[in-house]
Structure formats: C-alpha cells, structure tokens
Structure 1
Amino acid sequence: MTDVNAALAAQDDVVDAELVEDHEQAAGTGLVAHDAAAAVLAALEQGAEEHIAAARPKKTTASYAGDWKLWTEFHGWLAERTGTLLPLTAVTKGTMVSFTVWLDEVKEAAPNSIDRRITGVTVTARRLGTTVPKEATLAARQLVKKFRNDPKRMARGRGKAVPITPGDLRKMNTADRTRAPKPESRRQRTRTVPELARLRDRSINTLRFAVAGRNEEMSALDDPYIKLVSEGLEVHVPSVKGRPPRDVAVAYGEHPDTCPVRCWLAWQQAKLAAGAAPGGPAFLPVDQWGHLGTARLAPDSCGRAMTRAAEQAGLEARITGHSGRRGVVTTGRKKGKRAEKLRAQGGWSAKSAVFWGYVDDGEKWEDAATEGIGL
C-alpha cells in the first residue's frame, strides 16, 4: 500500500502543477488526466521493481552486481578500441553479442557462465529503466548455444555434478574420522572429526539425497518441518528463492548407515544433548573442537558437508551438494521409480530440462537399442 499511496501523492502533485500552470488548456483537452495516469503507472512500475529487487536472494543480487561489473569492464575495453565510450544503458543486439564474444574470447568464460551473465546484465539494465530488446538476448543466447557444442569451451566450467549412489553414501558415512593434513596446509597434523560433526554431516547428506534437497533448502529446514511417523519421516521443504514449498515422504532405509530416518534421529538426539534449543534450525555449525553453534548452518556449508565427506571417503569424482539431487533421480529411475514421483520429490517443474536430463541418464541402459537384437 505504501507504493500505491506514493503513486497517488505523485498524481496529486502532477494535477496541482498542471492546474496552476495551465488550467484552462487542461480543462478542454484531458491532458491532466493522461499525465496523472502516467505518473501513477510510473510510480507503480518503480514500486514493483523495488519489491522484486528486495525479494531477490542476496546471493543472486551479488551475482548480478558482478555481472554488471563485467559489463562495465567490457564497455571500457570496447572504448579503447573504438575511441567512443558508450553508455552502460546501451543494451542492444550489437552490444550484447559483442559482450558474449568478449566473455568467450577475452575472459574465456564457460558457456553456462556466459548465459548466466547475460541474465544478470539484462535484469540489472531493466531495473535501471533501460528497455532491453528481446532480439538482443535471443541473439546472444543463440551464440552461447553454439559454444555449448564445443567440448573445449565446455571444459572451462566445472561441469555437471556427478550423481551419487546409496553405495557412495555408505562409503562417505563410514569413512575414517581422522583426516591427514593437506600438503599445502601450514598445519601438518592429523585431525579427528568431532563425533557431533560426523553425525550432522551423515544426516545432511542422507536427508538431502532423500528429499533431493538444494543447499538453500537444507539450510532453511527447521526441526518442526521434519516429523517422525511410523513409516519414516514427513518432511516439509520450505520455499527458497521463490520456489514453491513441498511436502515429501522419506521411508526408512535398508542400511543403518544410509538410512535418512536413523541418521536424522541420531543427529537430533546428539544435537539436543549438546544444548540445542528444541524447535530451532535442523542443522547447526560444529567447530573443530566439537562445540555446537547456535546459528543456522549456511547453504554453502550444507553443500560442503557432502564434498568434504566424499573427499574423506576417497571418491575421485567431483561431488557437490547438487550430486544428491541428481543421484536420487538416476538411481530412482534405475530402480523403476516413476518419473512423476521423482519430480515431485525434488520440486522440479514439469518442463525442467535438467530434470528430464537426469531421467535420461537413469534410463540409459533400460531397453538399450542394441540389446537383444542378435548382435
């Protein structure tokens, strides 16, 4: 309502100004009403942009700021070669395509990173009041599509997260708790992972796999969102980054070391015994001495729990927090789980190309084209 009131106030100012300056001309033409409506619409548009910007996650806002910084750097680079410094608001088909080529050839950015930066520049430019032609972004993304067909360009990025399997989780959850020092580390001593941290990471990793959770979703979980029932756990995955919340069922596992229900109960019991307040965040930080923190475990820390456990278990593939989301789909399809059920578990949209790509991975050897044809 604040934005509407501001808009109405703006309307009053415009009307008053018009009446004072030229009330006779306005009375006969209707220009006052037209200008007043334009002022109201402009104020509402500005208010809408501010609401959208305020609702945007801090990490996304920071990424967009980095994209705009690169856009500024590109304009400086372009000015050195043309002798003319274009305004940053000059977002056209020509500048956007040139920016894309610059990111590829000068910055040697990965195609996926370039695609995301196109989004960041587009969003920021629109927030600043610039009209970004649709053909500008379409032309730039068409170029990125071509880049994605080049293996060398794709190798610049980190690549897709490798899906983990229940077998990988077992190795991670039963790995030795002692950690040898890294060669580059100044602290050359073996460290033992505190039992409290081990129980927490086991619970994060198994529950993440079970609910196909994102880092932000695992961080946002609270104790009341995870309800123990006779069949297992009923988990309410809260809304993050504007995505709708979802309620998923997590059944007891076949193996104690990878059962998300047993791992959650063990961590919950240890957490409360260590002094955690009931009803608080599901996952809390634990320092190297085993002391429990009170603040919610950050999204990045939730992701590092899986990467750290994979390294400790000696898994050679690049395992990240996203490996659980991909793993539950590929493993589920191999075991005959319905795609719709898996899609609902992880909260993917029906048109998600990423999700259906995971499904294809899981079905790769199902009824293979060359199987049983007499070769």
Structure 2
Amino acid sequence: MSDAPLVPYQPSAAPAAYDPATLAVLAAMEQAAEEHLDAIRPHNTKRGYENDWNLWAEFHDWLAERTGHRIPLTAVTKGTLVGFVVWLDTVKLAAPASIDRRITGVTVTARSLGVEVSKDATVAARKALKPLKLDPDRIARGRGKAPAATPEQLRQMYAAAPAGLAGLRDRALWLMAFGIAGRSAEVSALRADGIKHVSEGLDVHVPSVKGRPARDVVVAYGKNPDTCPVRAWLTWKAAAGITSGPAFRPVSVHGHLGDDGLSPTGCQEIISRSAERAGVAVRLTGHSMRSGFITVARKAGKREEKIRAQSGHAANSPVFWGYIQEADRWVDAASDDIGL
C-alpha cells in the first residue's frame, strides 16, 4: 500500500458542457420526476398547498392596499416570505405550526411554477418563526371557535368608533356583516348597487365567492339606532357619495376615499381593530359577526330555515347545527326546574 498522503480529489479541468441531446434527456427526466412526485403526493397535501397559495395571494392583496403597488405572486423573496410570516402571525392570528406549513406550501408551489426560491429566503422565514414557537399564547391559537359577537359588543364598538368617514364606514361594515351573517369575503364582494333601500330595510344581494352560490337576503331596520345596519349603511353611503361599485372601500388617514374595494383581510382587520379599540373582552374576528347573527337570531326564536337562508348554510351543515346547539344550550335545560 502506498504511503502517499491523502488529499482531496482535484479535477484537472472543469467538466465539459452537456451536449444538446444530453440536455434534452435530462430535461425530460426532470419533467417526469415532477409528474411522478405530483402523482404520488396525497390529495390532502395538494389541497393544503392550494390553500397556502390562496393565502399567499391574499397577503399580496393586503400588501397592495398598503403600498399602492402590486407585486407578482412569483416574487418569493427573503423580504416577502418574512413579511408573510409576520402577516400570518399578526393579521390572521395563525398558530406557529400552521405558519410553518404555509411556508412549505408556498415554497413548493412556487418552485413547481418554475420560480427559484433561494435557501436564504426560507431560512429567514423560519428564523422569524422561531420565537413564535416559544410563545404559549400563540401555540394555543386555532384551538377554539371564533367568539360570537353580541348586540352589546356592537354597541360598545359603535361608541368607540373614530370620527369622520372611516368611522362611518367601520360602523356600516361590521353591522352589515352581522346583518347578512356574512363571511369576510362576502362583505368584501358587496356592491353598492346590489344593496337596495326599501321601506322595511335593505334588500341585499350577496355575491358568489369561492364557488359558493350567491344569495339575496333582507336586513330589517334595528330598534336601536346604534346597532341598526340600515341606518349605518345609508349614512355611510351618503357621506361617501357611493352609488355603484364596491360597497366598502379604503379611507386614507386624510379622509380620502379609495376606488377599489376592501379585501377580505381588510374587512377582518376593521372588525378586530374596532372591537379592540372598544375594549371588548374577547377578540372578535370577521367570523364573529356571522356566528353572532346565527346565535342571536336563534335565541330570538327565529326559524332554522330563515336563519339558514340568511347565512347561506346548507341544510345538512354541521357548522350551522353546531351554532344552533350552542344557542339552545339553556333552552329547556335538563337540569332546570327539576325540583332541586
């Protein structure tokens, strides 16, 4: 055996460039590999990645509202990916484990579209995520349903709303969301010309969003002016001078009205921020208006089919019946009036 010292192998020259035929074979094998991996990927994983990319698009909508400029979804960089983590944490209130999955979903989807996502970008995103994984309150997120809003909380929010055009918009937005039992995406999609004032209140056309069927609902005048969706809408509409186009729009710090509609995230932010400003004890979200309407309507004795027509739930929706059961907990309670 030779006693020559071991040294790393050093090629005498750089490898030759591949010829066109070899490149063609390699490209075909790359494509075949992608198709094979996609074919064996579980359906739930694919659906999860699709949801992650939809959230990435929603983040870009939010970003465009604040910067006045839209960047392409394919711009998966260190800055945008870290911004996505912060947005998921502070706006969507996502749990750290969920954020971790979203990073993977966006990265995998972007690469499948031919986007080169640098390792620096994913490392930075997970570095931003690391301290969130140590926060018990953040870890506990997502373990319960959004609290249902109550008329009392809506009155608190009304009293704490800011002055000016933004305050009028905020009041109209959350009361309309409550009145139509609407999802944030549905509130975002409302059109001024789809909201008709009639003697009894409002005829509201709720557009189709995310493949769900559109519906037409009625919103009656409220007995309390502070929680009346009809009065709030008419006041906002007159002050903003809106006759057509998006029903709810951005208002700048100087009171200037935007032309585009608020995004679903923008609508959610307004509701959560308004509740926080009013000192509401629980954190209300966009879904709190929807669940709140169903709960309050049921406690007021409204028929199930009427409530479902307002909210757009299917007759066999387990979510809807969960709300009904919650509202009925104290109706003829088994422990009530049994001689104790």
TM-score for the superposition, normalised by structure 2: 0.61
- Asked if 1:109 is matched to 2:106, the reply is no
Aligned to 1:138: none
| Cα separation, 2, equivalents of 1:267 and 1:65 | 31
Q: Is the 8 A contact 1:194 1:288 kept in 2?
A: no
| Cα separation, 1, equivalents of 2:299 and 2:231 | 24
Q: Is the 8 A contact 2:172 2:233 kept in 1?
A: yes
| Count of matched residue positions in the alignment of Structure 1 and Structure 2 | 228
Q: Is the 8 A contact 2:172 2:236 kept in 1?
A: yes
| Cα separation, 1, equivalents of 2:257 and 2:147 | 31
Q: CA deviation at 1:158?
A: 5.6
| Cα separation, 1, equivalents of 2:290 and 2:51 | 21
Q: CA deviation at 1:334?
A: 1.0
Q: Is the 8 A contact 1:166 1:258 kept in 2?
A: yes
Deviations 1:55-98 (A, max 9, x none): x9x984615889xxxxxxxxxxxxxxxxxxxxxxxxxxxxxxxx
Letter of the 2:237 counterpart: Q
Aligned to 1:45: none
Q: How has the CA–CA distance of structure 1 residues 351 and 109 changed in structure 2, closer, same or farther, with 3 Å as cutoff? A: farther
Q: Name which of 191, 196, 212 aligns with 1:222.
A: 191
Q: CA deviation at 1:159?
A: 2.6
| Cα separation, 2, equivalents of 1:64 and 1:247 | 28
SS at match of 1:322: helix
| Cα separation, 2, equivalents of 1:153 and 1:234 | 41
TM-score for the superposition, normalised by structure 1: 0.55
| Cα separation, 2, equivalents of 1:209 and 1:65 | 27
| Cα separation, 1, equivalents of 2:226 and 2:159 | 7
Q: Which has the higher contact order (CA 8 A, sep 6+)?
A: 2
| Cα separation, 1, equivalents of 2:269 and 2:332 | 37
Aligned to 1:303: 268
SS at match of 2:226: coil
Equivalence map 1:1-375=2 (5 Å): 60=51, 62-63=53-54, 109=97, 155-157=140-142, 159-175=144-160, 177=161, 193-272=162-241, 276=242, 278-375=243-340
Q: How has the CA–CA distance of structure 1 residues 314 and 59 changed in structure 2, closer, same or farther, with 3 Å as cutoff? A: farther
Q: How has the CA–CA distance of structure 1 residues 197 and 364 changed in structure 2, closer, same or farther, with 3 Å as cutoff? A: same
| Cα separation, 2, equivalents of 1:337 and 1:352 | 18
| Cα separation, 1, equivalents of 2:172 and 2:276 | 17
Q: CA deviation at 1:211?
A: 0.4
| Cα separation, 1, equivalents of 2:55 and 2:222 | 41
Q: How has the CA–CA distance of structure 1 residues 208 and 65 changed in structure 2, closer, same or farther, with 3 Å as cutoff? A: closer
Letter of the 2:53 counterpart: A
| Cα separation, 2, equivalents of 1:64 and 1:222 | 23
Unaligned runs of 5+ in 2: 1-45, 58-94, 114-136
| Cα separation, 1, equivalents of 2:338 and 2:277 | 44
Q: How has the CA–CA distance of structure 1 residues 288 and 339 changed in structure 2, closer, same or farther, with 3 Å as cutoff? A: same
Q: How has the CA–CA distance of structure 1 residues 270 and 314 changed in structure 2, closer, same or farther, with 3 Å as cutoff? A: same
Once the two structures are aligned, what percentage of the paired residues are identical?
Answer: 54
| Cα separation, 2, equivalents of 1:329 and 1:224 | 26
Q: Is the 8 A contact 1:236 1:246 kept in 2?
A: yes
Aligned to 1:187: none
SS at match of 1:109: helix
Q: Is the 8 A contact 2:206 2:217 kept in 1?
A: yes
Q: Is the 8 A contact 1:306 1:319 kept in 2?
A: yes
Deviations 1:146-171 (A, max 9, x none): xxxxxx99934263111011111111
Q: How has the CA–CA distance of structure 1 residues 364 and 109 changed in structure 2, closer, same or farther, with 3 Å as cutoff? A: same
Deviations 1:234-280 (A, max 9, x none): 001000000000000110000111100000000000010xxx5x311
User: Over the residues paired in the alignment, what is the CA RMSD in angstroms?
Assistant: 3.1
Q: How has the CA–CA distance of structure 1 residues 351 and 284 changed in structure 2, closer, same or farther, with 3 Å as cutoff? A: same
Letter of the 2:145 counterpart: K
Letter of the 2:225 counterpart: P
Q: Is the 8 A contact 2:222 2:228 kept in 1?
A: yes
Aligned to 2:80: none
